[in-house]
Amino acid sequence: MTTRLILCAFFSVLLLSCSGDKAKELLETAEFEERQMNLPHAKQLYEEVIRLYPTSKEATTAQARLATLKQAP
């Protein structure tokens, strides 16, 4: 599990460093993690989108996804 988290973090950083639209890439990574049922990491990434890009449309999406995840059992 720890190795998977490290690899995910590495690839997240790699993806983010290669693109010009970091908010979009970070949101896509969070959505990927959510689809993979890695909910703690997805939540962390959604929070990061909100913190780093608070006025972006991605932050709005991240807030909605985060609210939904927090309501889930």
> What is the structure's pLDDT at 73?
74
Task: Please give the chain's pLDDT, 73 residues, in tens.
Answer: 666 656 566 666 555 555 569 999 999 999 999 999 999 999 999 999 999 999 999 999 999 999 999 897 7
SS3 assignment for 17-69: HHCCCHHHHHHHHHHHHHHCCCHHHHHHHHHHHHHHCCCCHHHHHHHHHHHHH
Distance CA 27, CA 46 (A): 7
Q: Structurally, how many domains does the chain consist of?
A: 1
- Report which residue type is found at 14: L
Give the domain extent around 9: 2-71
